[in-house]
Amino acid sequence: MNGEILIYALLPSLIVAFILPLFKNKPNLRDGITVIATIITFLIIAFLVLPQILSGETITFKLFEFAQGITFTLKLDAFGMFFAFVTSTLWVVTNIYAIGYMRGLNEHAQTRFFVYFTLSIFAALGIAFSGNLITLFIFYEILSIVTYPLVIHEQDPKSMRSGTEYMIYLMVASMLLQLTAILLIYGMTGTLEFSEGGIGALAQCGSLLLSAIFLMLMFGYAKAAIFPLHSWLPTAMVAPTPVSALLHAVAVVVAGVFCVMRTVFDVFGPNLMHALNLDLVLGTFAAFTLLAAIFFGITQDNLKRRVAYSTVSQLSFMMLGVALLTKTGMTGGILHIASHSFGKIVLFFVAGAVFVAAHKKLISDMDGIGRRMPITMLSFAVGTAAMIAVPLTLAALSKTMLLEGSLESGYWIFFVVFLLAGLLDAFYFFPVIYKAFFKKPKKENEADYSKFKEVNILVLAPIVTVAILVVVFYAVPFPFLELAEEKISHVNPIEGVVSHEFSKHWSSIAEYGVIAIIALFLLLNYRYFGSSKGKEIIKFDTPFIYGGNPLSKTCTDANHKLLLFYQWSVKLSHAPYAWVISKFKGRNVEDIERELDKSAYKFITSSTTMALVFLIIGFIVFIIKL
């Protein structure tokens, strides 16, 4: 029964998704069945599958063969188990939260919602269980398809347009880049099976072609939200909050990072990555995305969009850690998946709870909301602490390992990036906490505020549960640390150029130094800029930090320049398509560009061209490094 256990783990969600429509008119029974399915899935993974993996086993089950060397294979190792455990654990609380959220807002089409919501865990677990590139590709596409109805759930023009962008970015990238790379790998090696430390036959192929394949896979997994294929993620925030939690913490984006990491570990391998300088290529894109996302999001007034841009940044934390290729850095990169997932889902849960209870989405409207919803907003503070990697949260452990790994690898610039990002993350979320607890509601809103209180227990209980787990897993990081270390021990990480003792010492000093700077900065802001005198002198009325701070103008300007650059890039990407069409139809190029900008083809042209441009940039980095 060794291999069949993976099928048993997949079946509950798949079966329930097909029988839910039978209980459309019995919502209590319908919702109860979905909860039971998630609990059964968790119990199978936690008590039947996990012990086997922790004992050093690898579970394999081959279902059928497409062609010679191309099979549909389920295979679970420590890394897949890590992703599966995070997903199945958080899915239980997410499902309960979704029931409370959908009922609290009396949402339409709840049966359809839970059908696709349940199918999503099937696809996410399928990605975790994939034994080769083609199986991974199939489950990756299934996940894109079954989450589309969730993104467009509201069915208004805005959600439909966002759903179009969501599908085009993910499907075009995977079909054009990911599938092409898979076919090239099969043509060169005759196999698509994952192998710990990398597919050996790849080392015999040309370096330029291998670099092209890696770049195609890196951008083909667009769910990882590497710039410029990131804009679908904030746009998808039109979906209900449980979907946002699903997209940003449990399944979709983590699946993208999982695929990129799987490519590093089991397709190319650390040694080939280092020999081809692909570690620097991945690290450069991840570092740029990490910082750019912070500046994009730091001036967002919509709470969900701000949290969404934080997700884009945190995903690159993970990939930058893996790009270091050292044992400590890669272990920290894997561990940060759990750190981010548990912390970020709290933030999204809180955003949804505030909307259910108070119908508020904007940070600027949340003055004093912590006094009406103290438990909810205290949980938000715990999630914020996780994003900043404050001690006593799981993220403190993973962030320290990332800092150590960056020093060991000799890439000091990445060490600085990690520290800077940690500092900016504090500026990212503390304004929300300040407004919630330390500012009084506006006079015109006082009557409105007196009408709401803490959200219903089905929404509140999952928030508190996960907030507690963020702290518990710091004290006992089981099984995450064990699974991460087990995986890295089999992939042949490269030796660091700096001693582990030196890296550990200085990374600890730097981390506590950043926390001290954050504490001092917040104290000074509260003492001066939180006062009426400060506001009279400096009037930067943004939701950035305490309603007025010189740094807020800098961030606003940086965000504006980044946005202009992105818009210019999108516009530029239309030019070659418009020129070709104008030659065939004999029309004006400017008219065609305007039509493209208003149609769904905007996303196809911009995502495709910009991906190709960044592939070229990747090649330039590769050649310069040589």
pLDDT tens-digit readout, 292-343: 888 777 777 888 888 888 888 899 999 999 999 999 999 999 999 999 999 9
CA 246 – CA 124 distance, rounded (Å):
10
- Average pLDDT, whole number, for the chain? 82
pLDDT over 50 at 538, yes or no: no
Q: How confident is the model over 96-105, as a mean pLDDT?
A: 88
Across 61-75, 442-456, 531-545, the highest mean pLDDT is recorded for 61-75
Continuous segment of H or E residues that includes residue 63: strand 59-67
Query: What confidence category does residue 257 fall into, taking pLDDT thresholds of 50, 70 and 90?
Result: very high
Question: Could you write out the three-class secondary structure of 525-593?
Answer: HHHHHCCHHHHHHCCCCCCCCCCCCHHHHHHHHHHHHHHHHHHHHHHHHHHHHHHHHHHHHCCCHHHHH
Which amino acid makes up residue 588? N
- Residue 555: what pLDDT? 52
CA 493 – CA 274 distance, rounded (Å):
10
Name every residue whose Cβ is closer than 8 Å to that of residue 198 and which is 6 or more positions away in sequence.
Answer: 265, 266, 267, 268, 269, 270, 271, 272, 491
pLDDT over 70 at 56, yes or no: yes
Q: How confident is the model over 96-112, as a mean pLDDT?
A: 87
pLDDT tens-digit readout, 125-150: 999 999 999 999 999 999 988 888 88
Using DSSP's 3-state secondary structure scheme, residue 326 falls into strand
- Residue 571: what pLDDT? 63
Contact 607, 172 (CB under 8 A): yes
Q: What pTM was computed for the model?
A: 0.84
CA 435 – CA 431 distance, rounded (Å):
6
Using DSSP's 3-state secondary structure scheme, residue 62 falls into strand
pLDDT tens-digit readout, 384-420: 999 888 888 999 999 999 999 999 988 888 998 988 8
Query: What confidence category does residue 204 fall into, taking pLDDT thresholds of 50, 70 and 90?
Result: confident
Q: How confident is the model over 590-599, as a mean pLDDT?
A: 63
Question: Which tokens in the block code for residue 370?
Answer: 């912590």
pLDDT tens-digit readout, 346-363: 998 998 888 888 888 888
Q: What is the CB-side half-sphere exposure of residue 365 using CA atoms within 13 A?
A: 15
Question: Which tokens in the block code for residue 531?
Answer: 């006062």
pLDDT tens-digit readout, 460-502: 999 999 999 999 998 889 899 999 999 999 888 888 788 878 8
Q: What is the CB-side half-sphere exposure of residue 143 using CA atoms within 13 A?
A: 30
- Residue 140: what pLDDT? 93
